[in-house]
Structure 1
């Protein structure tokens, strides 16, 4: 059975993220795409607009000296413009490493991602890893 087009879109996004292909990621987002990151760390907040979302992704790499990576485990489309994904993310920051499950809830409009809500397994641990805003 063929993969649902929205699931394929999300999978393509994970692959582009993993290879640092920001051009492909940018082309998959609406101009006003928003990424919502949980918690109260310097990586938390609402990043509105394609350029701000991509800058947020760049900051993940910057803070982890390029060690941040995500391994997709499951992708679940609803056939009505939403996709849930489950993944494991890893990174090293200073003398601290982290490995945590998380997920994203995508809203897709016109075959582009318009909104991404992020959830993590342990908000307090994620906040401790990322640290407060500098």
Structure 2
């Protein structure tokens, strides 16, 4: 079975993100990427453009003291959507995040153009970052 090309794009993005390599991540994120972080927590919102999106990612690493990590459970793709099922962990101010989440990506011409990130317990996720 052939791997859908969007899975390869996702794998490159995941590898770069996990390594904190924003230069490599920029190669797979479109300059006008729009990132949606669902919920009502302090990090929730819509981030427009690569700088704003990468600013969110930097804030996640900063607030967690570099402890944020995600583990891929599965990734599915077709020409319209790529869906990654993940498990995230982090520590912050004596609190621990240990939860599943999903990201739906739109990928065009080998670049992530939009992403929607949602966590299984939005209230607990927001509280962790508060």
The aligned counterpart of 2:2 is 2
Asked if 2 retains the 8 angstrom alpha-carbon contact of 1:6 and 1:81, the reply is no
Provide runs of 4+ in structure 1 moved above 6 Å.
none
The aligned counterpart of 1:21 is 21
SS of residue in 2 equivalent to 1:43: coil
Asked if 2 retains the 8 angstrom alpha-carbon contact of 1:38 and 1:119, the reply is yes
Q: CA deviation at 1:70?
A: 0.6
Q: How does 1:21-100 map to 2 (within 5 A)?
A: 21-78=21-78, 80-100=79-99
Gaps (5+ residues) in structure 1?
none
RMSD, aligned CA = 0.9
The aligned counterpart of 1:128 is 127
Provide the C-alpha distance between the structure 2 equivalents of 1:12 and 1:81, rounded to a whole number of angstroms: 18
Provide the C-alpha distance between the structure 2 equivalents of 1:124 and 1:98, rounded to a whole number of angstroms: 12
Provide the C-alpha distance between the structure 2 equivalents of 1:81 and 1:25, rounded to a whole number of angstroms: 21
* TM score, norm. by length of structure 1: 0.94
* TM score, norm. by length of structure 2: 0.96
Q: How many pairs does the alignment contain?
A: 130
Q: CA deviation at 1:2?
A: 3.5
SS of residue in 1 equivalent to 2:57: helix
Provide the C-alpha distance between the structure 1 equivalents of 2:98 and 2:62, rounded to a whole number of angstroms: 17
